[in-house]
Amino acid sequence: MGMSGQHWRDAIKRDWRVLKFASGTYRGDLGIVKQAVWQDGKSLEFALAEAREDRDLVLRAVRDNGSSLRFASPELRDDKELVLEAVDQDGLALQFASNALRDELEVVARAVKQNGMALAFATNRLRSNEQLAYAAVKHNGMALAAASPDFRRHREVVRSAMRNNVAVLRLAHRDLLRDPDLVLEAILCNGAAMQYASLGLRADRDFVLKAVGRSAWALGYASPELRRDREFVLECMGVNNMAFEFADNEIKGDSSFILRATSLDASPQRLNYMKTMTHDASVKSVMDRRSQFVRRTWTAEDANAFRRSTVAMRRSARDAGDERSDERRSSGLATTGSFVTLGVGAGRSTNADAAAAQGSFLTRRA
């Protein structure tokens, strides 16, 4: 026994996907289809042709899901107001609009504002529109691929796209990839942009040094010759310590290079970074200044210097401890190891200390 109309309405009210399994009688029933569309605009897909011609129903569907425009009747896909509602919800719904509307500036501009990649579905005339190209790449840099190929030579359009996504440089004309100012600006956004620079710039010492100053990643995409050049790597580290991470593996595994790098700059920042990069935190690390001291013969002068420094450190520690002890006594709280004594009265603090030393207890004096 089949389900009645009321049963279908109740089932679809609970889950719009049930409409897919209903018979043609019910999928063409506006009342039942509306129940589904009010839940999800995608349900318009399961409605029959006569239901897809209902403007109010389709309008409700595209407001919920712009891509539902694809299921509307051809007449409604040429309805400007309805199409604007669809592209406001999903710019990519432009692909389902009529050819006439895809050639209308206002419609395409609204679609591109919502999703830059919608420019791909505009007519060739509008894809060559500079205003639309700017709007598209500002929203999504990769929309440069959807614009007219002429914009790949346009410095300002590429620059705007690059600020959104530096990967767009792979679409740019090779002349722009030789522009040091443009590439440096891209590297400031993302050091990986160096990989799109021309071979000439990637082998240019001055340019690479400037690039490393903006991002250490830039050295990773420099020419192999520069990454193997020890003097140049040291120069890059002077600008950005992290450049060491992107040097040639032979350099990174050479302890003599590491020793020289830390000799030129023994700042805590460089030493700590180099120890982290080489996983070398041992006492005899080549990055530890003490390693240079213990390698030579120990002399009487060294022994005296060591003795003096040790005595000075002990004296300093003792003085600091005495000051803390005086502060505790003046407040009535004396601490000896793990023993604590609370006392009232300055004249009895010495006795309290002696009592605390006899065992682990807490004494409170009235």
- Beta-bridged to residue 334, according to DSSP, are 341
Question: Is 1 a residue whose pLDDT tops 80?
Answer: no
Q: What pLDDT shows up at residue 88?
A: 94
Overall average pLDDT of the 42-62 stretch: 77
Q: What pLDDT shows up at residue 325?
A: 64
Report the C-alpha gap between 131 and 138 in whole angstroms: 11
Question: Is 71 a residue whose pLDDT tops 90?
Answer: no
Report the C-alpha gap between 64 and 38 in whole angstroms: 8
Q: What pLDDT shows up at residue 268?
A: 80
Question: Is 349 a residue whose pLDDT tops 80?
Answer: no
Question: Is 189 a residue whose pLDDT tops 70?
Answer: yes
CA atoms within 13 A on the CB side of 49: 2
Four-point Cα dihedral 69, 74, 79, 84, nearest 10: 20
Q: Assign 307 a pLDDT band (cuts: 50, 70, 90).
A: confident
Question: Is 219 a residue whose pLDDT tops 50?
Answer: yes
- Per-residue model confidence as pLDDT tens digits over 91-122: 999 999 999 999 999 999 999 999 999 999 99
Residues in contact with 119: Cβ distance below 8 Å, sequence separation at least 6, in sequence order:
108, 111, 112, 126, 127, 132, 133, 136, 143, 146, 147
Q: What pLDDT shows up at residue 272?
A: 79
Q: What pLDDT shows up at residue 320?
A: 73
Q: Assign 16 a pLDDT band (cuts: 50, 70, 90).
A: low
Q: Higher model confidence: residue 276 or residue 349?
A: 276
Question: Amino acid letter at 248?
Answer: D
Overall average pLDDT of the 171-198 stretch: 94
Question: Is 55 a residue whose pLDDT tops 80?
Answer: yes
CA distances from 309 to 254, 289, 298, 329 (A): 34, 17, 16, 31
If phi > 0 it is left, if psi is from -120 to 50 it is alpha, else beta; for residue 4 that is beta
In contact, 202 and 232? CB cutoff 8 Å? no
- Per-residue model confidence as pLDDT tens digits over 115-150: 999 999 999 999 999 999 999 999 999 999 999 999
Question: Is 232 a residue whose pLDDT tops 70?
Answer: yes
Four-point Cα dihedral 81, 86, 88, 93, nearest 10: -130
Overall average pLDDT of the 181-207 stretch: 94
Overall average pLDDT of the 311-319 stretch: 78
Overall average pLDDT of the 211-231 stretch: 94
Angle at 204 between CA 201 and CA 206, to 5 degrees: 115
pTM of the model: 0.63
Overall average pLDDT of the 57-65 stretch: 86
pLDDT above 90 as % of the chain: 46
Q: What pLDDT shows up at residue 345?
A: 39
Return the top range by mean pLDDT from 40-54, 155-169, 327-341.
Answer: 155-169
- Per-residue model confidence as pLDDT tens digits over 250-306: 998 888 888 888 888 878 888 778 877 776 655 455 455 444 444 445 567 766 766
Overall average pLDDT of the 221-227 stretch: 95
Work out the mean pLDDT of the chain and round it to a whole number.
78
Report the C-alpha gap between 62 and 59 in whole angstroms: 5
Q: What pLDDT shows up at residue 324?
A: 65
Q: Higher model confidence: residue 53 or residue 360?
A: 53
Of residues 73, 32, 39, 37, the one with CA closest to residue 54? 73
